[in-house]
Structure formats: C-alpha cells, structure tokens
Amino acid sequence: MEDVRNLVLREKQQSVSHREWKHRLVGYGYRLEETDGGYVVSAMRGGEALLTL
C-alpha cells in the first residue's frame, strides 16, 4: 500500500486542482472520494477501499 500512497501523493503535488488530481488517478485505475474522514482511494475495478488520506 505504500507504493499506492506514494503515487497518490506525487500526483497530488503535480496537479493544479482537485479535479485534475482525480482525473490523473483514474488513469492509474484508482478512484478518489472525499469523505468526512479524508480522501478515500479505491480501485476502479472492484471498488475496494485501499487507503484513506
């Protein structure tokens, strides 16, 4: 999971907006959802939550 976390955070740094960040993650097969507890990253295939930021 550390590799996924590193990828997500790197893409966040390179993005100029929240929308772009979400779009960039879709290219890797991940979905980003904003919740009360933070951002939840899940796999597009299967929809399982992988980590929360």
- DSSP state letters, 19-51: HHHHHHHHHTTEEEEEETTEEEEEETTT--EEE
Give CA–CA dist 3/8, Å, rounded: 9
The pLDDT score that the predictor gives to residue 19 is 95
pLDDT higher than 90, residue 3: yes
Residues 17-50: pLDDT tens digits? 999 999 999 999 999 999 999 999 999 888 889 9
What phi, psi does 46 have (nearest 5°)? 95, -30
| Start-end of H helices in 1-53 | 2-14, 18-27
The pLDDT score that the predictor gives to residue 50 is 92
pTM of the full predicted structure?
0.85
The pLDDT score that the predictor gives to residue 16 is 97
